[in-house]
Structure 1
Amino acid sequence: MSIRRWNIGEGLENWVRKRYIVLLDELGDEKFTAEKAEAILRSRGLEIENINKLISVLRKKGLLRAEPDPNDARKAIYSFIFPSKLESAGTPGKDEILRLLKKCADLIRTAVDYKVLLLFLFYKAVSDKWEKIKENYEKEGHSEEEAFLLTNSEYIELYDENEKKLYTWNEVMKTENIGEIGNAIKKISSMNENLDRLEKLAEVLGFFGFISDENRHIIGKIIQEFNSYDFSDVSYDVLGDAYQWILSYFAPEKAKEGETYTPREVIKLLVNLLDVEDGSKVLDPACGSAAMLIEAYNHVKEKNGGKEVSVELVGQERNEIMAIIARMNAILHGVENCRIEIGDSLLNPKFDEADYVIANPPWNQDGYDEEDLGTCPIKQAYNTFVSGGYPPESSADWAWIQLMLYHARKKVGIVLDQGALFRKGKEAEIRKGFVEKDLIEAVILLPEKLFYNVTASGIIMILNRNKPEDRRGKILFINASNEYVPHPSVRRLNTLSRENIEKIVDAYRRFADIEGFSRVVDKSEIAANDYNLNVTLYVMLNEEKEEIDIFREFQELKELEKERQDVMMRVEQYIMEIARAG
């Protein structure tokens, strides 16, 4: 049975469907008699008392056509009807892909982890692009085997040279065993070094258990949806957007389970603030799905007029599942120079210096005090800017700041909880050292309700070891708490519009005072405030002033006083009448 035909039998009773699939697989486009169909079913142990009853059901469902037997007018010749949808597939646009994913999300919502959609999208998209590249090599005169090997080298490996076996989506869909989808994922994982944990991802997500006869009807519908489209000519930007959509679509409900997701608008703001240049190396030590790294790449590409750029991306992620998702994300975005490491960056970073370091690390992460950081291989990172700069056990925020700046040649952009700006104790000592050494360039207060897992406002801190002369000894504070619009799809959340982002970025680049929005503060004033970096301490929002018409207000007051006197007179009259009656 061809996997791509599973969905054809949807809606049939089980006894009909089983026999239909066997006959379809055995006969394909071939014309046949009732007797031949009966013999095939008998050979497969699926004999039936009345073959004509089966034929009648299939004809009513529009799956079988009949024509007179030229050799015997009393009999009929049959052939299967294939849905035209399987014959060709079009190139989808962004909206079509999102509709496809929403349909599939509804299908799997309660059956398996939503991230299995990442595997389906990834597998289908890279397979279609692989086949397109292979076809181009064949058009150039290469043999099929040469085209396979050249495509492996140029893109990713989907052809096993030793087994002489192809593992593309379309090839696997020709097989009889439903488990071949899972086997293909395992094989792709073993053949590609940068996808070596793909099998682990599929295992953790429950993908292999999901690919079973029990879920055949769901899988058939998912395959039917994906088979509707050819992804070979879909741009990497559109595929990347679809990939990010899968992660963001479930973010509100997954936030309740502890998953974190940085809204794309916050990432855009942070990347625009850093303004990465072509030829740069960008590092994210808490990279998650690599969204920040990819946005940095896209930012440079856009500045370069869409032309290819030379940007090196490096990320590290403690969660190995997110690390493989990050690698898949980079591939779907067409980003080649992207390396994702797995491990705890605070204790064992597997990266060296970069021009720009960017991250939204876990806020208030506990378990990283002097006992841990003072004995790790990278302990110098926590002693370079402040001697003994170990944070309290309750929050690693300032450990992340130090680690990132230690590895930055130019600038650092980090998203944090507000508490990092004003908490006392050990964090206050580290904060003082950073202010005195003039390492902080800007602090931006974000609006509340931007993040799925916290309602409080976050902050962005920009650090720079080599400030321009006119910015030395100063820190720019931006109060952007009112720069938001309602989220388009999650009622309880806010988001940043393009205008909001542009206003914040413009204020940062101008490094100027804007009443009620931004203020350049000398570090002596910050020292006088005991090195408290709370943005509202330096920039208060402009309150809307209500204009008061004194004359009108006075007239209204006089009228109220007259009304009061009238009421008092009536009350006095009532009391007098009651007294007389008594």
Structure 2
Amino acid sequence: MLEPRFIKAYEILKEKFGYFPFTYENAEKVLKVKYENVAEVLSKLVNAGYLEKKQDSKDKRKKIYRIVDKMEKINRLTKDKLISLLKQGADLIRTQVDYKVLLLFLFYKAISDIYLKTVEKLREEHKDLDDEDVYILANEEVLELYDIENNKLYTWNNVKNSPEEFINALNRIVELNRGKLEGLQELIRRTGLPSLFENENKYIVQQLIDLFSKVDLSSVDYDILGDAYEWILNYFAPTKAKEGEVYTPKEVNKLLAYIIEPKDGDIILDPACGSASMLIEQYKFNNNVVLVGQERNEVTGILAKLNIILHGITPSNAKIFIGDSLVNPKFESFLKELKRDKANKVVANPPWNQDGYTEDVLKNNPKHSEIYKYGFPNKNSADWAWIQLINYYTQEKAGIVIDTGALFRGGRERAIRKKFVDEDLIDAVILLPEKIFYNAQAPGIILVLNKNKSEERKGKILFINASNEYINHPEIRRLNKLSDENIEKIAKAYKKFKDVDGFCKVVDIEEIKKNDYNLNVSLYVSPIEEGEEIDLKEVYNELNKLHNEYLNKFEVVKSYLEEINKIG
């Protein structure tokens, strides 16, 4: 239920703009007198279906809002309603069906509905064209769901009633969209979807199909579709973390975006992109960027591709590669297509303490002598292999989420770390709170690399101890979470580059050298422990009372001793 204050804001906007489009700046002028956080108001109204948000056709950086009338809102599928539907789906599958089936169905239904809505629009615009020509145009605008060769349409509604047709349709869509959906067939195979239609779980799958068939996803904004997709990833993350799957919390991705600050035209790289959530958060910060990612796991890589499509990011603005970045950085070919050899910014949460990457393995990378020029780490942890790879492909700035041990371990890691410090590549080290990662209780850190340090930052490293910057996770009791206020405080401290007692400190590199290149944050700044407030008068009275009791007892004991002496 939307709070009354947001309903009031809706009424103010409706009275001012009617059903004409308006920008954030227009809304701010109208609402800022009564509402301190206009961005929050607009976000709430969009998510509740009271406002429609679209990209400005002339300036992609701007968002255009429009009032949704009440009758339209009644029939509109909001973010809350969609999440509610997905919760029903999650309850259906429980532990019996791979959760990725839910992701697959959301993607297929959404793309099918968007495709059919596009067909309707094209029919209105091109009344002289027959259905086949309209389908061909829709293929170009969305994805190829019309098979020209076989004159067949593969949308959800066309195949939902036939298990065999359903699987055939998905496989054919992969073939029709070569270059966009590689790996989708492997995802279908890994989820066991074909056999699910035949074994004891067929009723669950049919219920899932019936559930998704009830809704039309064509009118849902890409932002909401993308958030729904990530809701599924987030919902199952605690369970899948136990099986080794890694999912970076959304708020950590958001913090990285504030630190990295993607600018217009930037190329943003993530060489260990997982489901691409970190890259997508950079895109939300500034959608005039190009995203490049690589993921070693084939299934996770296709989940990343689907995630990007459902966020409405065009293929020209994003490219995901499958492969091991440490030994075979395939993304380099795309950088060359863009006439670049490095990305402007790099973000990543690579696997922590990954073993097996010995010198012999890393030498399989054709550019190993350039990338790993500071040295090869030991076989028990590839943390500093990842940091070197990221540093090599960074033109300006990088944000790396990594294990705290990378800051102080000795041996080969210390030798590599020393060179990073000596060459003034490290801009900041941010200690995160514990229990915010689904697969690790330990606190991680964000290591910020900066190749364009301002004069005030040169020869120095900022240490931020954000170990106390968290709230209790609202849904998972054993976890903590960064709030918007926590994120803002950390990001502001990074930008200001000033000392704050108990929170952050600017440290000269010479001091770090004296500490044997130890970058452990708590060595340089520790939170101020909040002492208990003491009432001196109350303490005095208590001590005085104890003192008087002592004197009374002393006199009693003294009298006993005197009596004993007399008897003796």
Length-normalised TM-score, structure 2: 0.81
Q: 2:298 aligns with which of 304, 320, 330?
A: 320
Which one-letter code corresponds to 1:517 in the other structure? F
Distance 2:546 2:148 in 1: 94
Q: Distance in 2 between matches of 1:329 and 1:130?
A: 17
1:338 matches 2:325: no
1:571–1:105 distance in 2 versus 1, CA, 3 Å: farther
Unpaired segments of 5 or more residues in structure 2?
Answer: 1-73, 333-341, 564-568
How many pairs are equivalent? 477
Q: Contact 1:348–1:378 (CA<8 Å) still a contact in 2?
A: no
Q: After the TM superposition, which residues 70-89 of structure 1 pair with which residues of structure 2 at under 5 Å, given as runs?
A: none
The equivalences for 1:330-409 within 5 A come to: 330-336=308-314, 337-352=317-332, 353-384=342-373, 386=374, 389-409=375-395
Question: What secondary structure sits across from 1:335 in the alignment?
Answer: coil
Deviations 1:511-560 (A, max 9, x none): 11111111111100000100100111111211224444445423311212
Q: Counterpart amino acid of 2:357?
A: Y
In structure 2, how many angstroms separate the alpha carbons of the residues matched to 1:546 and 1:294?
44
1:208/1:381 Cα in 2 relative to 1: closer, same or farther (>3 Å)?
Answer: farther
Alignment check: 8 A CA contact 2:327 2:363 kept: no
Contact kept, 8 Å, 2:301 with 2:321, in 1: the verdict is yes
Indicate conservation of the 8 Å contact 1:381/1:402, yes or no. Answer: no
| Rounded Cα–Cα distance in structure 2 between residues aligned with 1:229 and 1:576 | 97
The offset of 1:436, in angstroms, is: 0.5
- Determine the C-alpha separation between the residues in 2 that align with 1:227 and 1:375: 49
- State the secondary structure of the residue aligned to 2:505: strand
Q: Structure 2: how far apart are the matches of 1:563 and 1:261?
A: 62
Report the CA distance shift for 1:110/1:547 in structure 2 as closer, same or farther (over 3 A): closer
Q: 1:345 to 1:504 in 2, by over 3 A?
A: same
Does 1:147 find its partner at 2:134? yes
CA contact (8 A) 1:178 1:213 kept: no
Give the superposition deviation at 1:573: 9.9
Quick one: distance in 1 between partners of 2:561 and 2:277?
78
Q: Deviations over 1:77-128 (max 9, x none)?
A: xxxxxxxxxxxx9541111111101111111113211111001100100000
**CA 102–570 in structure 1, closer or farther in 2 if over 3 Å, else same:** farther
Q: Which amino acid aligns with 1:335?
A: I
Go from structure 1 to structure 2 and tell me whether the alpha carbon gap of 1:568 and 1:165 turns closer, same or farther (over 3 Å shift).
farther
The residue that corresponds to 1:272 in the other structure is 258
Normalization by structure 1: what TM-score? 0.79
**Does 2:112 match 1:127?**
yes
Distance 2:448 2:281 in 1: 17
Secondary structure at 1:521 match in 2: strand
Which runs of 4 or more aligned residues in structure 1 lie more than 6 Å from their structure 2 counterparts after TM superposition?
Answer: 568-577
Equivalent residue for 2:454, pick from 460, 468, 479: 468
- Give 1:410's aligned residue: 396
- Check 1:317–1:383 CA distance in 2 against 1; reply closer, same or farther (3 A cut): closer
After superposition, what is the alpha-carbon deviation per residue over 1:454-508, rounded to whole angstroms, capped at 9, x for unaligned?
1111100110122112211000111111111110100111101111101111111
Please, which runs of 5 or more residues in structure 1 have no aligned partner? 1-88, 302-308, 578-582
* Cα distance change of structure 1 residues 163 and 529 upon mapping to structure 2, 3 Å threshold: same
Provide the residue aligned with 1:171 in structure 2. 158
SS at match of 1:195: coil
Conserved in 2, the CA contact under 8 Å of 1:382 and 1:402?
yes
CA distance in 1, matches of 2:328, 2:284: 29
Q: In 2, are the aligned partners of 1:90 and 1:230 still within 8 Å (CA)?
A: no
Q: Is the 8 A contact 1:91 1:231 kept in 2?
A: no
* Identity over aligned pairs, percent: 55
Residue 539 (1) aligns with residue 525 (2): yes
Aligned partners of 1:211, 1:91: CA distance in 2, in Å?
A: 31
Q: Are 2:99 and 1:114 equivalent residues in the alignment?
A: yes
Matched residues in 1 for 2:396 and 2:464: separation?
A: 21
